[in-house]
Amino acid sequence: MKEIRFHGRGGQGAVLAARMLASAAAIEGKCVGSFPMYGFERRGMPVVAFTRFDEAPIREKSQIYHPHCLMVVDPTLMKLDTILNGLRPGGVLILNSPKPLPHRLSPNMGLAGTVDATRIAVQEIGRDIPNTCLMGALAAATGWLKLESVIKGLGEYLEGEMLRKNIRNAERGFQEVEVQKWQ
């Protein structure tokens, strides 16, 4: 099973990214489970979401404490002391950032994929909705999912011009992600 924890702010699409990623995995025939956790709907407040996918049915319904991967949609959230909590050894960070990481942020971090998703989203969508760009980056950096599945998954949630723009957003995330690896 792969477990991914998403950190973003209300309105950036972290919750939808978690769900769309589940759809991408389901398209590849995997069993999936994805849910957000927040109290009230509040734009701009930190939100967390979870996605699991596996070949076998997923029975646990609890939150994710030991993720294989963290996706941080809002780079300001990296200031939180708790953001890397529970990352598994060899774990992955997918981060919206204009620059690669200056150094390995935790001994458990095995791979970081950074992409300037805000800039790309503003160029492609015209708004700071970096979620689909980061999904493309995740597909490229981890190889867990095919880009085609990610794109096909978007089609279950978006349509028309918005779908086309987000496909472009995801493709650019896939192409422009910078990968750093540690042993």
Partner 1 sequence: MTQALKKEIKKYKVLTGNGAAAYAARLCRPDVVSLYPITPQSEVIEQLENFHANGTLEAEMIRVEGENSAQNAVCAAAMAGARVFTATSSYGLVFMYDAMFQTAGYRAPVVMVNVNREPPGIHAVCSGQQDMIATRDTGWIQLIAESGQEIFDLVIQAYRLAEDEAVQLPVMVNYDGYYLSFLAESIELPEQSEVDRYLAPLKEQPPRPTLVPGSSLGCGAHGLGMGFVELRRKHMAAMARSRQTFEEIDAAFGEEFGRSYGGQIEEYRTEDAEIVLLTSGSAVGTARTVVDAKRAEGVKVGLIKLRMFRPFPIERLSAALQGRKAIGVLDRSLCFGWDCGPIYMEVKALLADIGKVPLLNFIDGLANMDITKPNIERMVNDLQSAAQGEPFNPVAWVTMGE
Q: Exactly one of 31, 83, 105, 158 binds partner 1 (CB under 8 A); which one?
A: 31
Q: Exactly one of 14, 22, 129, 138 binds partner 1 (CB under 8 A); which one?
A: 22
The CA distances from residue 102 to 108, 112, 183, in Å, are 16, 11, 16
25-55 core/surface letters (b: 16 or more CB in 10 A; e: else): bbbbebbbbbebeeeeeeeeebbbbbbbbee
Task: Compute the distance between CA of residue 140 and CA of residue 175 in angstroms, rounded to an integer.
Answer: 8
Query: Are the C-beta atoms of 24 and 13 separated by less than 8 Å?
Result: no
Cβ closer to partner 1: 43 or 59?
59
Partners of 70 in beta bridges: 5, 93
Taking the complex as a whole, how short is the minimal distance between the CB of residue 143 and partner 1, in angstroms?
21
Q: Which residues inside 34-53 make contact with partner 1, applying CB under 8 A?
A: 34-37, 39-41
160 binds partner 1 (CB under 8 A): no
Q: Exactly one of 33, 91, 110, 173 binds partner 1 (CB under 8 A); which one?
A: 33
Residue 43 has phi, psi (to 5 degrees) of: -60, 130
159 binds partner 1 (CB under 8 A): no
* Total number of residues that touch partner 1 (CB under 8 A): 23
Cβ closer to partner 1: 51 or 118?
51
Cβ closer to partner 1: 148 or 175?
148
The amino acid occupying position 72 is V
140 binds partner 1 (CB under 8 A): no
Residue among 145, 136, 143 at smallest CA distance from 177: 136
Chain contacts with partner 1 (rule: CB under 8 A) = 19, 22-23, 26, 29, 31-37, 39-41, 58-63, 65, 156
